[in-house]
Amino acid sequence: MTELIPGFLWGASTAPHQIEGNNVNSDWWAFEPHMPGMARSGDAIDSYHRYAEDMRLLADAGLNAYRFGIEWARIEPHEGHISLAELAHYRRMIDTAVDLGLTPVVTLHHFTNPRWFTEDGGWLEDRAIDRFRSYVETATRILDGVEWVCTINEPNILALMALMGKSQQQAPAEGDDAEKWLSPTVEGDARPVLPSPDPTIGRRLAQAHQAAREVLKERTGAKSGWTVACQSLTATPGNEEKLREVRYVREDLYLEAARGDDFIGVQSYSSQTVDANGIVPHPEHPDNTLTGNAYRPDALGIAVRHAWETTGHTPVLITENGIATDDDTRRIAYTSEALRHLFATVDDGIDVRGYLHWTALDNYEWGHWEPTFGLIAVDRETFERHPKPSLAWLGDIARSGGKALEAQA
């Protein structure tokens, strides 16, 4: 029997831009109309107004944690102008979670920047770190009692988005590489492999993370860390050196920057091989997910082991794991297998603090609505929530402290 630590977090994750709706002061909002063939976020799933209902569904099902983000573009819609009403809104969210028995795991930055920040040079501008630090200082006003804070979500994908022009708010010009304007999370025919993130931006983000950590340490009692897209890369025979090279730019730079953090957020969906030419596209297969990924629930175990080693044994929190599918039975099958691989890492002595599923509700997948990752379906016209069987299933496992999964074996 796997022994999980007391207080193990069992929950689900979301991100503001993907669920709230009308994030009008963000760079993504400005960028969306320029993404050829892609959908806009619009009202999203109106969780800005319905967050209490969403959290209640998770708590009633048996989960004990909820990871959600606060939105910089709402809190600071113009540089230096702080919206006290928005700060109060996010404090109410924290209080609601706590009242419902959900441990809040709060993300400070999840892909979107305020529009003014991007228009004035984004992450490569000289004042970027000071601007982010100042936002984090503001955010600490509402973080009293919050135990878990994620500074920046998937900095390795954020660094790629900036490179792809996702933060540029401009339509592709003639002669531009159209691939740059594709969703940063969906792979497929148009662009079989995500481009490499820009390490210059990556190092900038590492500085921003470090600045945020210092502020959080000084002003709050929260544990802080960042959450990395862990790609569970493996080498084809003879290509171990190439693997190290590719993995450093895409992942290890970010894992190494988490050494000494209170936790590392591991986010895992699939796995890919690396050959002499670099990353091999996911092989075509009927089991591929709606984001074009290979069906690889074992990826979670590979990701946790690699993150644990590369961060020098930083405690692990699974901040995202899930599958884009319209078949909820597959979601349950994928997640049970992923959890078994996770439990094996605990059996091997890795310090795992919790499992937060991606995602609570079907939502806006960065340019697309079709890839559905949610435990809860949403009618996008009425905004009615319809829990899927996977929510009750995960809730039962949570209530039993993981034992229900072992009983299913």
Site string for ligand IFM, 362-391 (x = CB under 6 A): ---x-------x------------------
CB of 299 to ligand IFM, least distance (A): 13
The answer to whether 64 touches 101, Cβ cutoff 8 Å, is yes
By CB under 6 A, tell whether 295 contacts ligand IFM.
no
Q: Based on CB atoms, which residue is closest to ligand IFM, 239 or 270?
A: 270
Secondary structure in 3-state letters for 152-216: EECHHHHHHHHHHCCCCCCCCCCCCCHHHHCCCCCCECCECCCCCCCHHHHHHHHHHHHHHHHHH
Kindly state whether residue 107 participates in binding ligand IFM, applying the rule CB under 6 A: no
Q: CB neighbours (10 Å) of residue 9?
A: 25
Nearest to 279 by CA among 307, 243, 249: 243
Per-residue binder mask for ligand IFM (CB under 6 A), 125-154, x = binder: -----------------------------x
280: tokens are 């091999």
Query: Are the C-beta atoms of residues 242 and 195 closer than 8 Å to each other?
Result: no
Smallest gap from Cβ 149 to ligand IFM, in A, equals 17
Count of residues in the chain: 409
Is the distance from CB of 387 to CB of 376 less than 8 angstroms? Answer: yes
Q: DSSP letter string over 206-251?
A: HHHHHHHHHHHHHH---EEEEEEE---EEEPTT-HHHHHHHHIIII
Work out how close the CB of 69 gets to ligand IFM at its nearest, in angstroms, rounded to a whole number. 9
Cα gap 134→297, rounded to integer Å: 39
Q: Which of residues 192-251 bind ligand IFM (CB under 6 A)?
A: none
Nearer to ligand IFM, 222 or 228 (CB): 228
Q: Which listed residue (112, 118, 156, 267) binds ligand IFM by CB under 6 A?
A: 267
Rounded CA gap, 395 and 102, in Å?
Answer: 12
Establish if 68 lies at the interface with ligand IFM (CB under 6 A). Answer: no
374: part of which helix (H) or strand (E)? none
Residue nearest to ligand IFM as judged by C-beta position: 185
41 binding ligand IFM? (CB under 6 A)? no
Instruction: CB nearer to ligand IFM: give 117 or 373.
Output: 373
> CB of 306: closest distance to ligand IFM in angstroms?
17
Q: Under the criterion CB under 6 A, does residue 261 sit at the interface with ligand IFM?
A: no
Minimum CB separation of residue 360 from ligand IFM in Å reads: 12
CB of residue 258 to ligand IFM, shortest distance in Å: 17
Q: Are 274 and 235 in contact (CB under 8 A)?
A: yes
- The vertex-323 CA angle with 357 and 406, nearest 5°, equals 60
Tell me which H or E stretch contains 309.
helix 299-310
335 lines the binding site for ligand IFM (CB under 6 A): no
Least Cβ distance, residue 229 to ligand IFM (angstroms): 6
Provide the token pair at 399: 């209530």
Among 4, 15, 194, 377, binds ligand IFM (CB under 6 A): 15
Kindly list the distances between the CA atom of residue 69 and the CA atoms of 78, 199, 341, 353, 355, in Å, as whole numbers in the listed order: 19, 25, 27, 19, 17
160 lies in the site for ligand IFM, by CB under 6 A: no
Regarding 185 and contact with ligand IFM (CB under 6 A), the answer is yes
Cβ pair 100, 106 in contact under 8 A: no
Q: Which of 71, 86, 154, 365 is catalytic?
A: 154
Is residue 328 packed enough to be buried (19+ CB in 10 Å), middle (13-18) or exposed (0-12)? Answer: middle
Asked if 320 is part of the footprint of ligand IFM (rule: CB under 6 A), the reply reads yes
CB of 319 to ligand IFM, least distance (A): 9
Crossing angle of helices 47-61 and 389-399, in 10° steps, is: 50
Judged by CB under 6 A, how many residues of this single chain contact ligand IFM?
10
Our finding on whether 183 is near ligand IFM (CB under 6 A) is no
Q: Give whichever of 55 and 160 is closer to ligand IFM, judged by the CB atom.
A: 160
Report the sign of the C-alpha dihedral through residues 212, 218, 219, 220, in that order: positive
113 binding ligand IFM? (CB under 6 A): no
358 is an interface residue for ligand IFM by CB under 6 A: yes
Based on the residue annotation, tell me whether 174 is a catalytic residue of this protein. Answer: no
Residue 103 or 270 with smaller CB distance to ligand IFM: 270
Question: Which residues does the annotation mark as catalytic?
Answer: 154
- Interaction site with ligand IFM (CB under 6 A): 15, 18, 154, 185, 267, 291, 320, 358, 365, 373
